[in-house]
């Protein structure tokens, strides 16, 4: 059985880690290089760094920061935010990122996924999907969760994997930052229609929530931010909890 992964996420704005609720009301959470190193030391399996305003402000992800992060880490990390072209990805991978995350640009131009897969291989392409239930169905949002699209989440996830996405980072905007648990139903639905790993994101508030999304949501990995940033859960304690409940994790 493959081990389940614990993935701290660092949302970056102006070079600093921030965290909000439902994608707004951001507050400062610390230096991303220092936090990344601390999580790696605590036993995080991977890290995700998202430049959350890169697309909105129409600029590229800060490659210099990626180099600083790479110099301090001994675990894989993914970088996203403002990625629009093959060249953007080349710069970030050369700076030391192991994987890149695409979202808004891929929705606008799905061929980008195919181009990236052809150039770099699917193993380093993570499709980030920000999704919200509109009362009728799950809809994809872009531009940092600010703009609703006409794309249905399930259709988009399947198309992206068919085009070469090697992993799905699924964020439930309804659950983001509120700490009431991951979106179990949609996570399970996505894992059932794709054959690539799915990272559940949005809603972690305690150790039981991680167990629930692994056991009932069939997630391959679970991502969280504020509970790690503000010391509410320590990664070693979380992994020990999961181990005792027979979830395979790397201790």
**What's the per-residue H, E or C state across the chain?**
CCCEEEEEEEEEECCEEEEEECCEEEEEEECHHHHHHHHHHHCCCCEEEEECCCCCCCCCCCHHHHHHHHHHCCCCEEEECCCCCHHHHHHHHHHCCCEEEECHHHHHCCHHHHHHHHHHCHHHEEEEEEEEECCCCEEEEECCCCEEEEEEHHHHHHHHHHHCCCEEEEEECCCCCCCCCCCHHHHHHHHHHCCCCEEEECCCCCHHHHHHHHHCCCCCEEEECHHHHCCCCCHHHHHHHHHHCCCCECC
Phi and psi angles of residue 73, each rounded to the nearest 5 degrees, phi first: -105, 150
Range of the domain at 61: 5-244
Residue 233 burial (CB count, 10 A): 20
Asked whether residue 107 is assigned to any structural domain, the reply reads yes
Which residues are tagged catalytic?
11, 130
Measured CA to CA in angstroms, residue 232 lies from 64, 155, 205 at distances of 30, 36, 8
How high is the pLDDT of residue 52?
Answer: 67
Asked whether residue 53 is assigned to any structural domain, the reply reads yes
Over the chain (251 residues), the average pLDDT of each successive run of 10 is 91 74 52 91 95 57 83 95 90 94 95 98 97 91 87 97 98 82 96 98 96 98 91 96 97 91
Alpha-carbon span 122 to 99, nearest angstrom? 10
Asked whether residue 150 is assigned to any structural domain, the reply reads yes
How high is the pLDDT of residue 24?
Answer: 45
- The domain that contains 238 carries what CATH number? 3.20.20.70
How high is the pLDDT of residue 57?
Answer: 47
How high is the pLDDT of residue 116?
Answer: 98
Asked whether residue 84 is assigned to any structural domain, the reply reads yes
Domain count for the chain, please give it: 1
How high is the pLDDT of residue 55?
Answer: 55
Asked whether residue 249 is assigned to any structural domain, the reply reads no
Sign of CA dihedral 115, 119, 123, 127: negative
Asked whether residue 250 is assigned to any structural domain, the reply reads no
Asked whether residue 251 is assigned to any structural domain, the reply reads no
CA diameter of the chain: 46
Asked whether residue 209 is assigned to any structural domain, the reply reads yes
């Amino acid at each position: 059985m493959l081990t389940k992964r614990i993935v701290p996420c660092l949302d970056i704005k102006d070079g600093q880690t921030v965290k909000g609720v439902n994608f707004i009301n951001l507050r400062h959470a610390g230096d991303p290089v220092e936090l990344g190193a601390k999580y790696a030391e605590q036993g995080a399996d991977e890290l995700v760094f998202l430049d959350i305003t890169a697309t909105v402000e129409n600029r590229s992800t800060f490659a210099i920061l990626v180099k600083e992060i790479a110099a301090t880490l001994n675990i894989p990390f993914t970088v996203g935010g403002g990625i629009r072209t093959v060249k953007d990805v080349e710069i970030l991978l050369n700076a030391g990122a192991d994987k890149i995350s695409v979202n808004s640009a891929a929705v606008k131009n799905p061929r980008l996924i195919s181009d990236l897969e052809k150039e770099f291989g699917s193993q380093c392409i993570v499709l980030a999907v920000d999704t919200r239930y509109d009362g009728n169905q799950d809809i994809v949002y872009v531009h940092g969760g600010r703009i609703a699209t006409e794309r249905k989440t399930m259709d988009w996830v399947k198309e992206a994997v068919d085009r070469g996405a090697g992993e799905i980072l699924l964020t439930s905007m309804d659950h983001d930052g509120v700490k009431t648990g991951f979106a179990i139903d949609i996570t399970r639905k996505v894992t059932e229609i794709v054959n690539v790993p799915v990272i559940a994101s949005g809603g972690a508030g305690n150790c039981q929530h991680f167990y629930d999304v692994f056991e009932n949501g069939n997630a391959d990995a679970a991502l969280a931010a504020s509970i790690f940033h503000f010391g509410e859960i320590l990664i070693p304690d979380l992994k020990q909890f999961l181990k005792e409940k027979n979830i395979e994790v790397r201790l």
